[in-house]
Structure 1
């Protein structure tokens, strides 16, 4: 799908405030409400806009610990990659999972209430997944940058 500058402006505005009215959005991007709504619907139908969500503060809800976990599998065959991915996709503590190049196969971002909660997750959830050869955990001391908005407006 080809995005023009108006589409990109719509995306930038909605990333900043997904709850704005179509009238406010139309005004900000220089369209009347009807064509603006048509564009938003097209962006949704084409899965450019995948959904809308509230950004929740992980510290406030009692999950202040972020752990970056490098996982290496015993074998990198498709069936074992798929089995691992299905297992971690079922874990609500896993916020992100990336298939990687380099020394480890996967990089996970896991949230936890504290060190003990992470240890329980590691022992009872992650370690029992078949095919794991190595797990290395790194604890984030402080979040320096966190963005949810992609830089679409200037592209």
Structure 2
């Protein structure tokens, strides 16, 4: 179970994963060693799964963000595994979900430009043997950046 201090520690690390044990201790009114031990425990228990840097896609030349709904022709374990392999193999696909409702999968993608998105759709995803059709939406503006999880 998480106590209030754990929750505050997790919230602080989601905002800045570079916080030192000294800085965490000051924020949480703990000694640096206590703050460090709490962080280590939360890592060991799987509350903290990794640390990563958030990059600016535009500065990296990724001008198009989109969402692709994928509808499968056939459903079964082998088809799902094959499609999952395709998803994992493509760096443009930064996240993917299996869905309830009309679409089977929702993919979030970043591409350099519209022709690159078109190639991903028509040369990679649609030719996959289990894919029946796709629907894509291009992001015009992101109103809220990817936010920390509520704690």
Offset from partner CA, 1:41-72 (integer Å, 9 cap, x none): 11111221111111101111110211110001
- The residue aligned with 1:111 is 110
TM-score (norm 1): 0.92
Distance in 2 of aligned mates of 1:52 and 1:20: 12
* Deviating more after overlay: 129-138 vs 73-82: 73-82
Distance in 1 of aligned mates of 2:14 and 2:79: 36
Distance in 2 of aligned mates of 1:4 and 1:117: 47
Distance in 2 of aligned mates of 1:128 and 1:12: 43
- The residue aligned with 1:137 is 136
Instruction: Classify the secondary structure of the residue corresponding to 1:40.
Output: helix
Instruction: State the 1:129 CA deviation.
Output: 2.0
- The residue aligned with 2:64 is 65
> Does the CA-based 8 Å contact 2:64-2:112 persist in structure 1?
yes
Distance in 2 of aligned mates of 1:23 and 1:7: 16
TM-score (norm 2): 0.94
Distance in 1 of aligned mates of 2:58 and 2:142: 11
Distance in 1 of aligned mates of 2:21 and 2:84: 38
The structure, 1 or 2, with the larger RCO (C-alpha pairs under 8 Å, 6+ apart) is 1
Give structure 2 stretches of 5+ with no counterpart: none
Instruction: State the 1:40 CA deviation.
Output: 0.6
**For 1:41-80, what aligned pairs fall within 5 Å after superposition?**
41-80=40-79
Give structure 1 stretches of 5+ with no counterpart: none
Instruction: Classify the secondary structure of the residue corresponding to 1:116.
Output: helix
> Superposition RMSD on alpha carbons, in Å?
1.1
Residue correspondences, number: 151
* Deviating more after overlay: 93-102 vs 25-34: 25-34
